[in-house]
Structure 1
Amino acid sequence: MVFLVVLVIAVAVVVLVMRAAAAPGRPGGGLRAPRPPRGPRPQPPGRPVAPDDDPEFLRELDRRTRRDDGSPT
């Protein structure tokens, strides 16, 4: 029985605190003005994800391969 009374009091306190926080005209309470929408995020500059995506790397690799073997493959 005592547990039920404590539970009802706890629920009542939570409800009162929530109402006080949402009360208009109180500092920090009430509905807030909506934030302006954000613009699109700037994308980072496009860059190769892996070495085999980088054309400069592939040219250098091809140049090294030709220099080492003396043949194109």
Structure 2
Amino acid sequence: MNRYNPADAALSLLLRVRRIVDTITEWSAEQAEHADTEAERGSYSTEFIVVVAAVVLFAVAVIAIIAKKVTDKANGLNF
């Protein structure tokens, strides 16, 4: 019987987030290449994207930890 594994779910979610971050980073780099002036290069937006990605990854990790603890606690209940 296949049981829900929070670690697998968290890993899958992390991989999806990683793909999204990679896509956004590639798009940002393409936009920077097409910028006409130094001020329009998008360095701020690239930094912003990296910071947001780090925050998202941290949040996903926290959610995975909480999900694991809740699952462990639920599996320990006796009915």
Q: If the length of structure 1 is used for normalisation, what is the TM-score?
A: 0.35
Instruction: Decide which structure has greater helix share.
Output: 2
Identify which of structures 1 and 2 has the higher relative contact order when contacts are C-alpha pairs closer than 8 Å and 6+ apart. Answer: 2
Pair member with larger Rg = 1
